[in-house]
Amino acid sequence: MLNKIVLSMSMLRMLSGTIEICAALLMLRLNEVDKALLVNSSLALVGPLILISTTTIGLVGMSDKISYSKMLWIVAGIACLMIGIIKK
């Protein structure tokens, strides 16, 4: 039997992959650099949102197994990733 937390995390990742594939197909269909760049830019929002959502679900699932200090380190790491992505 599948763990509900793991199933939720994997479904989010499958959704993310499906969005990425659809975006790639849309870029091919549009066949214009400026429009493809617009589609690609919109993907920059999807990736971090999926990362945060998946990590949050995982942390909620593990909240009874890890200490608050370890959870704080994980959140700090995600914050560093987000800052790095935003500050390009």
End-to-end CA distance of the chain: 42
Output the pLDDT for position 88.
Answer: 61
CA distance 16 to 14: 5
Q: Which stretch of DSSP H or E encloses residue 3?
A: none
Output the pLDDT for position 1.
Answer: 84
Output the pLDDT for position 57.
Answer: 92
> Tokens representing 65?
């197994």
Per-residue pLDDT in tens (0 to 9) along the chain, 88 residues: 889 999 999 999 999 999 999 999 999 999 999 999 999 988 888 888 898 899 889 888 888 888 888 888 988 988 888 788 777 6
